[in-house]
């Protein structure tokens, strides 16, 4: 796909991986609508974005809002959903609050809703990209909820790819990425990231731009659908 002149909707498009994807799509010549729940994030993103990017307030769990957004931009070519859906539970599974575990699936429901409601408004040559994470296939202790949701996202993409064709759908699976999801600052942040990547082959956190470039690759490559692309610093390897 030549992204120049195409219309793209990026949900969760004002922070972290989503923002990096918004900016890379705009740099490739796409017209981008970046959606977010956060007005503060939209204001920060607007300071970085050029004329080809507009912003809209949207919660990926608001089905009516999603349906209206997609109808408004009927015929669009690209859908990226990088929204987390909210907080995700972590910690020992046998002591985990089950409501927290269940709540972690808000990410999946946001993905499912966006694909279900958006695909019918896309061009037949359109492409979709979602985001999972390396714990889907290699979970450390305490990451049961995160792993299960990531598994579900990757399975969902494989399951619906045949039904969406000729539209394409793929998923990118990041490793430990230095984004605003890590709340610590300064040296505490660096120590946290060093600890999280100490046993990986690439001993540093990835960047949002490195993940976004893989997302854009799946959108451009017309021979890819139902695939998972790992950008994880070797996290899946021994």
| Tens of pLDDT, residues 16-30 | 999 999 999 999 999
- Say how many domains are in the chain: 1
Backbone angles phi, psi at 117, to 5 degrees: -85, -25
Range of the domain at 213: 7-228
Residue found under tokens 């399975």:
155
Average confidence score pLDDT of the chain: 95
Residue 26 maps to a domain: yes
CATH number, domain of 42, equals 3.40.50.720
- SS3 for 126-168, per residue? EEEEEECCHHHCCCCCCCHHHHHHHHHHHHHHHHHHHHHCCCE
Evaluate if residue 192 carries a pLDDT over 90.
no
Tokens of 222: 């017309």
The CA-to-CA distance between both ends of the chain, in Å, stands at: 35
Residue 84 maps to a domain: yes
User: pLDDT grade, residue 234 (50/70/90)?
Assistant: very high
Residue 28 maps to a domain: yes
Residue 234 maps to a domain: no
Output the pLDDT for position 182. Answer: 74
Output the pLDDT for position 122. Answer: 98
Residues 200-227, mean pLDDT to the nearest whole number = 97
Strand pairing partners for 112?
none
Q: Which helix (DSSP H) or strand (DSSP E) does residue 35 occupy?
A: strand 31-36
Nearest to 129 by CA among 16, 4, 221, 206: 221
Q: In whole angstroms, give the CA distance from residue 233 to residue 231.
A: 6
Residue 233 maps to a domain: no
Residue 38 maps to a domain: yes
Q: In whole angstroms, give the CA distance from residue 37 to residue 218.
A: 26
Please write the tens of the pLDDT for every residue from 171-191. 999 999 998 777 777 888 888
Q: In whole angstroms, give the CA distance from residue 123 to residue 197.
A: 40
Q: What share of the chain is helix, strand, coil (3-state, %, to 5)?
A: 45, 20, 35
Output the pLDDT for position 120. Answer: 97
Burial 215-235 (b: 16+ CB within 10 A, else e): bbebbeeeebbbbbbbbbbeb
Nearest to 88 by CA among 138, 136, 21, 160: 136
Residue 238 maps to a domain: no
Q: What is the pTM of this model?
A: 0.94
Residue 72 maps to a domain: yes
């Amino acid at each position: 796909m030549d992204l120049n002149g195409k219309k793209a909707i990026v949900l969760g498009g004002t922070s972290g991986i989503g923002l990096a994807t918004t900016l890379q799509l705009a740099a490739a010549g796409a017209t981008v609508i970046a959606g977010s729940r956060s007005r503060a994030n939209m204001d920060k993103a607007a300071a970085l974005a050029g004329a080809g990017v507009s912003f809209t307030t949207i919660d990926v769990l608001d089905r009516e809002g999603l349906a209206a957004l997609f109808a408004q931009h009927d015929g669009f070519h690209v859908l990226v959903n990088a929204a987390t859906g909210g907080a995700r539970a972590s910690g020992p599974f046998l002591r985990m609050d089950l409501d927290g575990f269940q709540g972690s699936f808000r990410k999946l429901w946001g993905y499912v809703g966006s694909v279900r409601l958006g695909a019918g408004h896309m061009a037949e040559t359109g492409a979709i990209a979602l985001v999972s994470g390396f714990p889907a296939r290699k979970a450390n202790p305490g990451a049961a909820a995160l792993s299960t949701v990531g598994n579900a996202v990757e399975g969902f993409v494989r399951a619906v790819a045949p039904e969406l064709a000729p539209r394409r759908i793929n998923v990118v699976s990041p490793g430990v990425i230095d984004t605003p999801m890590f709340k610590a600052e300064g040296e505490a942040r660096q120590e946290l990231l060093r600890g999280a990547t100490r046993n990986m082959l690439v001993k540093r956190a990835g960047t949002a731009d490195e993940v976004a470039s893989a997302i854009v690759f799946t959108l451009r490559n017309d021979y890819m659908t139902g695939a998972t692309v790992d950008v994880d610093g070797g996290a899946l390897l021994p």
